Structure 1
């Protein structure tokens, strides 16, 4: 079962996953695997997405959602990378600078075959007042994030 926390500018969930931190990290750093992890239903496929290996990389994803009028693409700018511990990125519509939304996957080894994974959807860095005025509630729910952790647990056990 996942634990969760919600603040005015972020939603976090965490869950123990029966896999090594290395195996979880290896899966998370392959954007081509992200569609199978996505609990929101927005992520469709990778468009340009090499393995994440360092801060500053960008990967492009094919997405869909009513909030964007259907199909669209995002550029995801890697903002955090610590092998087997953290991978994070800020997302934006393709060819646009990120407005401040960030995804953080934090891993804490719980022995050789278990990892505590925390997934955070954070919009605390969004400064555009027009965007902030539109945010009545987060686009991604706690339930959807919990779904992503459940999908990660399934995917890493089948890897």
Structure 2
């Protein structure tokens, strides 16, 4: 595994489509975010994401900021990913397995021009912790 690809998985006892539907709804991102950085969905976002859709978030990581994302991968019920200005991709994969769905979340900065700065700033390690927490929140949201 590359230092610029952080990936974690969790089996959640829920239907793949139900999990996908949460991730495909940008209004639910603050609810599922385990990093604590996603504060609110911006006005004007689509109600449901699709390939090429753009959506904005109010963020906070040391300071408040706004970010726009573009959906760059979309396979209904199976995979969704978005990228923002810096080029790294947040990807979710949903694989039906015995007992539920294997959900894999990835932070992919392999094609980012300033990836060495991301690594030196501790983003891979920080993002791994956020991914683990996000998967736990998705589990709570669907199995509570």
Partners of 1:143 and 1:46 in 2: CA distance: 22
Greater length-normalized contact order (CA 8 Å, ≥ 6 residues apart)? 2
Other structure's SS at 1:75 match: strand
Instruction: Specify the alignment match of 2:55 in structure 1.
Output: 59
Give every structure 1 segment of 4 or more consecutive aligned residues whose post-TM-superposition deviation is greater than 6 Å: none
Other structure's SS at 1:141 match: helix
Other structure's SS at 2:77 match: coil
Residue number among 74, 78, 90 corresponding to 1:85 in the alignment = 78
Instruction: Specify the alignment match of 2:26 in structure 1.
Output: 31
- Residue 145 of structure 1: how far off its partner (Å): 0.8
- Residue 157 of structure 1: how far off its partner (Å): 2.4
Question: How many residue pairs align between the two structures?
Answer: 140
TM-score normalised by the chain length of structure 1: 0.81
- Residue 8 of structure 1: how far off its partner (Å): 1.6
Query: Please, what is the CA RMSD of the aligned residues?
Result: 1.6
- Residue 132 of structure 1: how far off its partner (Å): 3.1
Residue number among 111, 115, 126 corresponding to 1:132 in the alignment = 115
Change (3 A) 1:133 1:108: closer
Contact 1:39-1:145 at 8 Å conserved across structures: yes
Matched, 1:15 2:10: yes
TM-score normalised by the chain length of structure 2: 0.89
Instruction: Specify the alignment match of 1:119 in structure 2.
Output: 105
Contact 1:38-1:147 at 8 Å conserved across structures: yes
- Residue 50 of structure 1: how far off its partner (Å): 1.7
